[in-house]
A and B are shown apart, each in its own frame.
Chain A
């Protein structure tokens, strides 16, 4: 199984979970059907013209119906965003396999999960809504609830116990490490340049190679650069995790982010940045480190609020081997690879586990707050939205591309604060993909259907799709696709003692042949030719032999023949040996030599020779020997 991401956009249908009692959210009117029927008013609330589910947020799980996940042997994880559904898979499906991931992926994935669990668990909500999921009722609801798919499979967030159990099934791997899977294939993680520890995977046998490219970046940010060279010579390249905002250039967006941040703060407003606790935030802090002095923002406090803020900032500094070259070399100076260490040291950046506690004592405005969750449905961000939403001096800047910012803002309307959308998605765009494909030249590309056509909102943008030759094979949800290659060959090893016994014969310059008599031993998808057992001694006792020791008797082998028979010379030889009245007929496959006198027929074809004579074994043997003169034996 390649990755197991969690679709969190389902949470946008739920009301936010405020950290502090919010009169506004708790007094929302219940929703009733057009005919006035109000039986759903406990579950659904109306807010600014939208209807939300008043319940603990739920998540949309990966497809579990199509295959029996208990039969999955291995899960390969490409980055920490793509493992958020892991506890659902490992704990509730009977999964008994192994999960492979790099160390930063696991550690930061743990932080993301921990934050998620913390955000949800610290605001306990007794109510759980399920009535609205009834299909007959769902179709009566307004959009987008009406159109939500697979609502019956939506699940509440997992627990920390489940997270720990899921993570214990992960086996850590390093870049370029070769991992044998049951002898059938070898998998190797390669740096994908997108996030700390993010990987692309090579899955290969001796004769076939499949690359799985997911969430890769060619930009120079903090992670180790993408390893493109190792992707060459792939039979199939499975491509996914491209940028979600192909029209937005990350550099431009970072500029936009800084400009709007400075503009707001200079006017005395506060800036709220809903974000994940790891990833782009490191780059943003680095940009701000360079920018704040020049923009005259040195006295503005930056707050990073997350239950895992401290761990995230600390972890980033210790994964030196997973960082880009510049940052790696800093470690040897020794200096912290990320400049946020200096920001923390100089008190420009402060981090807190939550708004409660120390933060409320230190809090000073105007300020910049980085906090989660980007969906604006849970986490400390909900508090700041409620607190700052009423003033037009403040700004919320969206940098994470995973959620529609308009949908995220829906339960906060009417909103006076300014909203800026600067999605920073460093993953591959279509121009970079086409360059990558030209570089690595896979025989076939397999990708989601969405990448093979322009985005629906920009149907004319032919540049916003994958353009490669041969055209990419696309797949859609729940579609079964046969990859366009067959395993034709298997590699077989020859034991050294057997190899020693071979006597090759050169049949053509540069080509030697040898016959091999051996036992093919196959175990764990490995094939080995072993020397044949010595002829068995007659059993000394009358004990019945075990079946497994039953080795087929080795017959005396006839030599193998090679070469071709030149007909004219053959006829001459026959004449020399006293045969006369010889006729030669050409056939489609070769020749027929007729010995009319002897009433015998010699059929010479490319790969066979038949001597047909009437019960005259002596004649047949004579003729056979004459034929053999022209062939080589070994």
Chain B
């Protein structure tokens, strides 16, 4: 049973915290068993075995070589020698799985142990590792690269002396473009890496895009990426060999560059313009609008035409590139290609989603003036063309498209809903009307998104038919529509969306809400308390919390490390407010949620009640908990609830009784219990013991790998 083997390893791991366990491990033959378990059919067991080996090796070295490192590996403790010999042997093996196991052990060792002995270890094992590169094909390429990067990240080694940089450089030039990509990215992430190697690694990542530019640019074009560098023939071969190779290489490269741009180690200067040009070109190759200048371009056009995977990767990277500064003409090209993608009937729903995301990022970042979040004139022109497309997408027969279009629209309104030009452009389109109509969409995801959009439109005063403030009825109509969805929609997503909108409305003081907040909160809580969806109930608690914070002030900070700043004393809650809470009935809702079978709901209710208790400390009357007969009956009801008789109302209660119960409950204790993750029972030794007993009873091995 894999769980038992896994448990055995975990047990040894715990044992291996004690130096005295070393002898036991060495003498009992456990290390040999661990060697065998490295090849376990369960990946979890195999991985745990490798990690245990590293752990034992580190323990042995820690005990045996306190102080300065023993330069001779031969003088290492026997247990350590045994492990190292095993690893070395495995490195010489012809079987790739064994090589992989050895490499994984080494990778973990260099990742975890930063003692001087690791330098000696590398000194001994780097020759067999180097030999692996001589084999054809190179075995376990990915594990090899992981090892090199793990060694390179170590602080202990003198890289120049141990020849690691040379090894990395050679590897980068020897591997195929697809294999070299991850290594190049890893190299660029290294903090102390020679500039020459960084340049080489960056070149590996840029090469495919340079090829794309070269194949499609009318010669002689503007300076592109990697002008005049050799070694591109491998990349060209990879791009042209087959469709899958081409698509794989481009997707990987685009993803790596995207990741790189977000990192502090991002190469400087960053070739923003050629990269943007190449990305736009790739998108054009995908939509067939490039007129390539070479035969290679023609073939790429055929290979990439309509390729959804590449389109998605390119759009992701395009979105990230919006953070750099780009010349206006290129920005306009970006907008053009985005419009084409959004407009094209050929664009798949997933591509459209990515295109919407990229569009949003470019709108946010294009020609942003330092102190202005307004849309640039180009962006406004773009919006003028975008809204008709958005209208069409909102009517798409494909629900994913309607959904993405609504999400995009919600973001647009959130960012620019207050800007006059945007409002005008939006109003002159049918978009708000269409979005409102989608509240009745047959697809629940779309209804949920439509709820979000309608809420956002309403918050900004951009609602469809009732744009004029003199028509409050229509506005009220949306509130009632959303209430209707909350109480009748059969799917959870739209109901959750309604609560998010309501919470936001309450937080922002939406006109419809502040008109009669008490009615609003009471109606919502009433609907939510009956809801079967735990997320809806949780959102209901969130709404209740916002309501309480607005009335009682922010919760006080309990962080032990913060300096106690002079806090403005929060206003003592008015007794009438407590009456309101009882009437809503917020107390009943929170107590009920405290016993919720879904842990997050109970946790949230616990937090809410703690907040309430803190805020009402000063309201306590002279009587102690339990004094009031009223509170006794409440406690009795709570007790019955615990026993599973939910549904019985608490009845009309006085605030004093509620406060008494609040004080009587061990909310802190409950909070601690609820904070434990749900699998703490499964991870307990008792559970493992049960597994072991079960194994004894089962003759046939159960292959199900539960851990």
Contacts and interface: CB of A to CB of B under 8 A. Distances in A.
Nearest to B348: A252
A290 B397 CA distance: 9
Interface string B368-386: 0000000000000000000
A294 B391 contact: no
B345 A255 contact: yes
B397 A295 contact: yes
A287 B298 contact: no
Contacts of A253: 345
Given A259-B392, A460-B292, A422 B345 contact: yes
B442 A252 contact: no
A327 B345 CA distance: 28
A267 interface: yes
B176 interface: no
Contact of B397 (A266, A287, A460): A287
A256 B345 contact: yes
Contacts of A458: 288
Nearest to A256: B345
Nearest to A265: B395
Interface string A282-299: 000001001101111000
A462 B305 CA distance: 11
Interface string A592-632: 00000000000000000000000000000000000000000
Given A255-B345, A266-B434, A260 B392 contact: yes
B393 A461 contact: no
B650 interface: no
B440 interface: yes
Contacts of B305: 461, 463
Contacts of B437: 266, 296
B346 A248 contact: yes
B392 A293 contact: no
Given A249-B306, A266-B437, A461-B301, A258 B291 contact: no
Nearest to A294: B442
B345 A291 contact: no
A227 to B, nearest CB: 27
A127 interface: no
Interface string A387-405: 0000000000000000000
Contacts of A254: 397
Interface in A216-271: 247-249, 252-256, 258-260, 262-263, 266-267
B302 interface: yes
A287 B397 CA distance: 9
Contact of A460 (B301, B303, B344, B392): B301
B481 interface: no
Size category of the B interface is 20 to 34
A251 B358 CA distance: 25
Nearest to A421: B345
Interface residues of A, number: 28
B299 A462 contact: yes
A462 B302 contact: yes
A263 B435 CA distance: 12
Contacts of A460: 290-292, 297-298, 301
A463 B302 contact: yes
B443 A294 contact: yes
A445 to B, nearest CB: 19
Interface in B436-481: 437, 440-443
A256 B440 CA distance: 21
Nearest to B401: A255
A263 B301 contact: no
B304 to A, nearest CB: 9
A253 B344 CA distance: 10
Nearest to B393: A259
Interface string A437-472: 000000000000000000000101111000000000
Nearest to A463: B302
A78 B302 CA distance: 31
A461 to B, nearest CB: 6
B288 to A, nearest CB: 6
B345 A461 contact: no
A485 B291 CA distance: 40
A537 B393 CA distance: 94
A320 B299 CA distance: 44
A253 B346 CA distance: 8
Interface in A25-61: none
B328 interface: no
A294 B291 CA distance: 40
B396 interface: yes
B395 A461 contact: no
A35 to B, nearest CB: 42
Nearest to B287: A247
A72 to B, nearest CB: 40
Contacts of A267: 430
Interface string B270-314: 000000000000000000101110000111011101100000000
A300 B299 CA distance: 47
A252 B397 CA distance: 10
Interface in B297-345: 297-299, 301-303, 305-306, 344-345
Nearest to A253: B345
Nearest to B437: A296
A266 B345 contact: no
A255 B391 CA distance: 14
B345 A262 contact: no
B78 interface: no
B288 A247 contact: yes
Contacts of A263: 391-392, 395, 430, 434
A261 to B, nearest CB: 8
Interface in B378-415: 391-393, 395-399, 401
A262 B395 contact: yes
Given A294-B442, A460-B297, A460-B298, A258 B346 contact: no
A462 to B, nearest CB: 4
A492 B210 CA distance: 66
Nearest to A247: B288
A504 B288 CA distance: 67
A256 B291 CA distance: 26
Contacts of B399: 294
A317 to B, nearest CB: 24
A266 B395 CA distance: 9
A293 B441 CA distance: 9
Contacts of B303: 463
A258 B443 contact: no
B406 to A, nearest CB: 14
A249 B288 contact: no
A254 B397 CA distance: 9
Contacts of B345: 248-249, 252-253, 255-256, 422
Given A252-B345, A296-B437, A462-B301, A258 B396 contact: yes
A406 B301 CA distance: 28
Nearest to A420: B392
A295 B395 contact: yes
Contacts of A249: 306, 345-346
Contacts of A294: 397, 399, 441-443
List the 6 closest pairs (A to B, CB-CB), nearest first.
Answer: A463-B302, A252-B345, A262-B395, A256-B345, A258-B397, A294-B442
29 contacts: A247-B288, A247-B346, A248-B345, A248-B346, A249-B345, A255-B345, A255-B396, A255-B398, A255-B401, A256-B392, A258-B395, A259-B395, A259-B396, A260-B392, A266-B430, A266-B437, A267-B430, A290-B397, A294-B441, A294-B443, A296-B437, A296-B440, A458-B288, A460-B290, A460-B298, A461-B301, A461-B305, A462-B301, A463-B301
Interface of B: 288, 290-292, 297-299, 301-303, 305-306, 344-347, 391-393, 395-399, 401, 430, 433-434, 437, 440-443
Interface of A: 247-249, 252-256, 258-260, 262-263, 266-267, 287, 290-291, 293-296, 422, 458, 460-463
Given A255-B397, A260-B395, A460-B301, 7 more contacts: A255-B398, A262-B395, A263-B434, A290-B397, A293-B442, A460-B292, A462-B301
